[in-house]
């Protein structure tokens, strides 16, 4: 009795994101007798690709798969993956994403001028806005309106309103503002100038 010819099978791992069907890896040729079990496991390669940001969509190599009896073609099994998504924010930075895209430091500065060397130093208050972006775990590119994307919001523990700033008293001068009122934090820096003017002098007239 002539032994049955060895059959050939392959397991092909594909990136099927957006219909790409790009080959990522392969088992190479697996040989065996028709009807015998294919001694191969996809577990190691699946784990490796998941570590690179892929998500398993379909493992088309079933447990207990056997060689067919078709001498005219290679038996193909497909294991398909799509791209994972990941959040990027101050707690989860990503090397390829500029932090300015997800965090924004803002401030209110009250400038004082006009009192010479008695002029007070600037009064500065700070706050921070943050948001979460979504990136493609494989390419590192930002996905607009992705799974984790959020709008800008003031970060926890940061000021949502700048405090009222009372104008310092400077002997011999009066200011054009008694205070700078409490102001809601915006995504833009705020600058206010307080100007001092020397007090008038009484000139005696004979």
Reported confidence tier of residue 202, pLDDT bands at 50, 70, 90: low
Given this model, what pLDDT does residue 73 score? 92
Question: How many other C-beta atoms can be found within 10 angstroms of the C-beta atom of residue 67?
Answer: 20
Domains of the chain in start order, with CATH, are 7-83 (3.10.20.470), 87-198 (2.60.40.4300)
Q: Write down the pTM of the prediction.
A: 0.77
Under a CB-based contact definition with an 8 Å cutoff, are residues 52 and 13 in contact?
Answer: no
Q: What is the pLDDT of residues 41-72, one digit of tens each?
A: 999 999 999 999 999 999 999 999 999 999 88
**Residue 19: which residues within 8 A CB-CB, separation 6 or more?**
none
The share of the chain scoring above pLDDT 70, in percent, equals 96
Separation between Cα atoms, residue 41 and residue 111, nearest integer Å: 70
């Amino acid at each position: 009795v002539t032994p049955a010819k060895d059959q050939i099978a392959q397991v092909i791992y594909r990136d099927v994101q957006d219909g790409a069907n790009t080959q990522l890896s392969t088992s190479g040729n697996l040989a065996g007798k028709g009807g015998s079990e294919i001694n191969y496991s996809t577990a190691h390669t699946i784990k490796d690709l998941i570590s690179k940001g892929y998500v398993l969509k379909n493992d088309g190599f079933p447990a207990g798969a056997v060689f067919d009896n078709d001498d005219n073609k290679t038996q193909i099994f497909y294991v398909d993956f799509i791209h994972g998504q990941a959040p990027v924010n101050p707690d989860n930075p990503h090397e390829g994403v500029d932090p300015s895209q997800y965090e924004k430091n803002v401030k209110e500065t009250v400038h004082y001028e006009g009192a010479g060397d008695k002029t007070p130093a600037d009064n500065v208050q700070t706050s921070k806005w943050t948001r979460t972006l979504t990136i493609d775990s494989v390419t590192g590119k930002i996905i607009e309106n992705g799974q984790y994307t959020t709008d800008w919001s003031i970060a926890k523990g940061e000021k949502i309103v700048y405090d009222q700033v009372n104008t310092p008293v400077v002997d011999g001068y009066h200011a054009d503002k008694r205070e700078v009122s409490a102001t809601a934090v915006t995504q833009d820096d705020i600058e206010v100038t307080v100007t001092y003017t020397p007090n008038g002098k009484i000139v005696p007239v004979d």
